A and B are shown apart, each in its own frame.
Chain A
Amino acid sequence: MTLLRNAVFAAFSILLMALPAQAQSSAEDLVRRMAAEVTSEVRKNPALVNSQTQLAALVERRLMPRFDFDRITQLAMGRNWPKASGAEQRQVVAEFSKLLVRTYSNALASLKDLDVEVRDSRKNGNDVTVRTQMIGRPKPVAIDYSLSNAGGGWHVYDVTVEGVSLVTAYRDEFNTLVSSSGVTGLIAALKQKNGK
């Protein structure tokens, strides 16, 4: 009986140890896959990087389904999120997503080297941060992806480029806008930016 209990206990502990490791590796796989998909599309069609609309379409198709825009927006709004009504929250999410798609497409256009290398990943509660570097001259660019898995697979909720977090960068702006002209002011500013 003791032996059986020990065996079950051992099996259980192995399972428990294996679980987070597996979670980490599947998050790493997702980042690897996203990078590979974008790289191969750009390699197949190098003229792509010269077309804003084609790039935006690529980003929307390949990357955006893997981003958790609700969470990104929530984090970027921080303490202002609960101040917005449900309808306002949805509007901010929609407009901010548009802005991010454009920012991403523009960033892609300026990248000559697309080789992404996954370095490692760290577990942080239920979240995983996958550290990658983009190989380029004169030095590689460090890009960290923060992912969470709330049931529907891994989704990115922050991207940190060379130590600069996207969410944090926008939070200050959002804060300033909301304190000066309210959530409506923030929505108006996002719309104006997207309209250009």
Chain B
Amino acid sequence: MNCMSRSALIASAVFGTLSITSAQAQVSDPLEPVNRGFFALNEFLDTVAFKPIATVYNTVLPKPVRTGVSNVFSNLDDAFISVNHALQGRGKDSANSLGRVLINSTIGLGGLFDIATDQGLQKGEGDFGQTLGVWGVGAGPYIVLPVLGPSNARETVGRVARIASDPRTYMPDVWSYSLVGAEYIQYKADNLENLNLLDSSSLDKYGFMRTVYMQRRDALVTSGRAAAGAP
């Protein structure tokens, strides 16, 4: 072996180690061709429908109304967060989220106002996907769902569990669709700036979203495990 190739080998070994310390291997994405198809569809829908609707929504409705709508959905979500924290064995966190639901549903007028945060009960993070992760279920391959966007095998199962347990699923169709639709538009409106940021900072948006999503879900499971392990 000549000197050049040896130093290249050493260099790559050194940098290889460096990269391992701050990142995992590349994300598993065996469904990439299908995923890219749905990704393109979602991009198209965002451009022609959801982003314009969210922009109009943000322009037409005054900020207090938007915050109120956002709070109502956030309050419903807190109930699920509480259930999931309980399933993860996080009694204290579960009680915190339950306390938020009780305060915001009553004094907060059905969740319109987030009084609980003012009272020092901070909003938590939790969902069925995280619970499965805390229980030891792996993330599985990356999946892009139509309209809903980035997911993976575990989170897709979590989503199905959420839909099955959401009261809106069992309402008459008109109510069910309008409430779910309203939450979706609210979500897009809340994240409009982030969506634009993603556009301006990524070289390959598909790959960027995939890495960011998988890292984020990993971090949620890790923090869930840590919280469950703490007494």
Point out residues on A near B: beta carbons under 8 Å.
74-75, 78-79, 81-82, 99, 102-103, 106-107, 109-110, 137-140, 146, 158, 162-165, 167-177, 189-190, 193, 196
Contact = CB atoms under 8 A, between A and B. Distances in A.
A164 B215 CA distance: 5
Contact of A163 (B23, B203, B220): B220
Contacts of A193: 203
Nearest to B213: A164
B215 A168 contact: yes
A188 to B, nearest CB: 10
Contact of A79 (B12, B123, B223): B12
B7 to A, nearest CB: 9
Given A75-B18, A163-B215, A163-B219, A140 B197 contact: no
A138 B27 contact: no
A193 B211 CA distance: 19
B207 interface: yes
Interface in B110-127: 114, 117, 122-125
Contacts of A74: 15, 18
Interface residues of B, number: 42
A103 B215 contact: no
Contact of B22 (A79, A138, A165): A165
B136 interface: no
A79 B200 contact: no
Given A99-B201, A106-B197, A138-B123, A172 B15 contact: no
A156 to B, nearest CB: 13
A110 B197 contact: yes
26 contacts: A74-B15, A78-B16, A78-B19, A79-B15, A102-B200, A106-B200, A106-B201, A107-B197, A110-B193, A110-B197, A137-B114, A137-B117, A139-B125, A146-B22, A158-B22, A163-B215, A163-B216, A164-B212, A165-B22, A167-B22, A167-B23, A168-B211, A169-B211, A171-B19, A171-B211, A196-B200
A112 B215 CA distance: 25
A79 B207 contact: no
Nearest to B215: A164
Tell me which of A146, A158, A169, A170 has the highest count of chain B C-beta atoms within 10 A of its own C-beta: A169
B8 interface: yes
Contacts of A140: 122
Nearest to B192: A110
Contact of A164 (B11, B123, B219): B219
A173 B223 CA distance: 26
B26 A139 contact: no
A162 B213 CA distance: 11
Given A102-B200, A169-B208, A162 B27 contact: no
B97 to A, nearest CB: 12
